[in-house]
Amino acid sequence: MNLKSILHLPLDIIQGKSLWKIRWCWIEQKLFLILTSSIFLQMPAALAQQQEIPEKKLVMREIVTQESPFGTYGSFEKLLRAAEEGNADAQVQVSICYGKGNGVTRDYGKAFTWAMKSAEQGNAKGASIVASCYLQGKGTRKDMPLAVEWLQKAARQGNAEAQNNLGAIYDYGVEGVPQDEKKAFFWFEKSANQDDPDAQYNLGLMYYLGAEGVPQDEKKAFSWFEKSANQGNRNAQYYMAACYSLGKGVKKDISQEFYWLKKSAEQGHPDAQDDLGALYGRDKDVQKVLNQSSTLVFEKTKDQIQELVQKEYSQIDPEAQNKIEKMVYWSNKAAEQGIARAQSNMGIFYILGLGGLRMDTTKALEWWKKAAEQGDAEAQYSLGGCYSGQTLYFKDIPKDIQESRKWLQKAAEQGHERAKKFLERLNQEKDFP
């Protein structure tokens, strides 16, 4: 028997199954965090995690400040003097300084006050900041209708960031603002035509998925993704890779898939990191090491497996060894950001001692538990096998039939056939409760 037949660990990502199963759990952060996408405000991570969008992800544009927080004024004192004299642009900069704590103690109340002074003079950036303050309740009360009102004022003045942000609100729908994909498309297009990269990505997304009044058009989706990706938007870069991999709106091209996937991964995109690790795992020499090293895992001791892995390494060229190391590197990056598939794979890499990792069953179990707790059926199955006491490799892990059954049952309930068979076999044992 081999590794896959006993525990059926998620080696499918390495053995040639489709790399791109497009995930509609959009990559960036959660809607509320994005709506307030830090003009200057920070949001507690715990709160952001409670606002997760399950199927859609839209990006709201951050207002980009000048390289110097004081603009051409040279100091906060001079900037403040100009703001006090009624200069609307200076008032915006003072607001941002107070919001970020640039040259002055952070004070959200003062940040809101100066943004409002600027907005009341018709300054679009000031209006956008006021909207963000009302949206998050920083420096003033939380008030969604007022947030939308000020955002609309900025958008109608032609502010690209506000137009994109308003589009995001209409696309998802928020408190007091019903979802309206036609309005979302209108504002995204306005902003995208002003070269806003986030709006270009959002517009591409609407064309890619199709929406009310927006027929699906993969070529237009690709075109907008490309414009956004070339400006550094990591989400768009991720979908550029997907388009090249699947031939959506463009001819399939593995080299371009790799190029854009790497661009996105290097910017910290967790799914891009996960898929880049899997892409390195496609290499035939890498697959050979994985397959042959895993063949006898459950029939050998750790020392014997280590010897086997080292033997396999010695038979491949340095380039393939480097790919294995990169596969593990990027999978680890994704696993640390909570990607369940990558966490499952890190368990594999630790039991094999791949990519410079020391063989470590404790680490393997830690990663499998993280993935299993997220509902990953393969990781649940792996844990069930580890605690079953039936494998030589995991003899240092105390046998726990109850724990084994718990995880196998969870996997079985998701339709995992091997878990069902394993569970049936354990049920037949006399010491199984």
What pLDDT, on the 0 to 100 scale, is given for residue 112?
97
Residue 381 near residue 408 (C-beta atoms within 8 A): yes
Nearest-angstrom CA–CA distance, 334 and 117: 44
For residues 427 and 388, the answer to whether their CB atoms sit within 8 Å is no
**What span, in angstroms and rounded, lies between the C-alpha atoms of 306 and 194?**
57
**Spatial CA neighbour of 21 closest among 30, 33, 12:** 12
pLDDT of residue 432: 52
What is the pLDDT, as a whole number, of residue 316?
87
**CA torsion, ordered 294, 295, 298, 301, to nearest 10 deg:** -70
Per-residue pLDDT of the chain (433 residues; tens, 9 = 90+): 232 322 222 333 333 333 344 333 333 332 322 333 333 332 222 222 222 322 345 455 544 444 567 878 888 999 999 999 999 999 999 999 999 999 899 999 999 999 999 999 999 999 999 998 998 899 999 998 999 999 999 999 999 989 999 999 999 888 788 999 999 999 999 999 999 999 999 999 999 999 888 999 999 999 999 999 999 999 999 999 999 999 999 999 999 999 999 999 999 999 999 999 999 998 888 888 887 766 666 667 778 888 888 888 888 899 999 999 999 999 999 999 999 999 999 998 998 889 989 989 899 999 999 999 999 999 999 999 899 988 778 888 899 999 999 999 999 999 999 999 999 988 887 555 5
Which pTM value belongs to this model?
Answer: 0.81
pLDDT at 177: 86
Write the DSSP symbol of residue 65: P
Q: Supply the DSSP symbol for 52.
A: -
Cα 75 vs. chain centroid, distance in angstroms?
38
**Cβ neighbours for 340, distance < 8 A, ≥ 6 positions apart:** 370, 371, 374, 375, 376, 379
Between CA 75 and CA 67 the distance in angstroms is 13
Tell whether the torsion through CA atoms of 100, 105, 110 and 114 is positive or negative. Answer: negative
- The β-bridge partners of 177 are 174
Which of 134, 209, 129 is CA-nearest to residue 171?
209
Per-residue pLDDT, 81: 95
Q: Extract the tokens encoding 269.
A: 């995109």
Which amino acid would we find at residue 220?
Answer: K
DSSP 195-208: T-HHHHHHHHHHHH
Phi, psi of 175 (to 5 degrees): -50, 120
Q: Tell me, what DSSP letter sits at residue 174?
A: B
CA angle 36, 39, 43 (to 5 degrees): 45
**Whole-angstrom Cα Rg for the chain:** 26
Angle at 149 between CA 208 and CA 121, to 5 degrees: 120
Report the pLDDT value the prediction gives residue 11, as an integer from 0 to 100: 31
CB-based contacts of 162, cutoff 8 Å, min separation 6: 124, 127, 128, 131, 151, 154, 155
**Burial state string for 351-363 with b = 16 or more CB within 10 A and e = fewer than 16:** bbbbbebebebeb
Token pair of 150 as six digits: 């000020």
User: Which tokens belong to 111?
Assistant: 């940040």
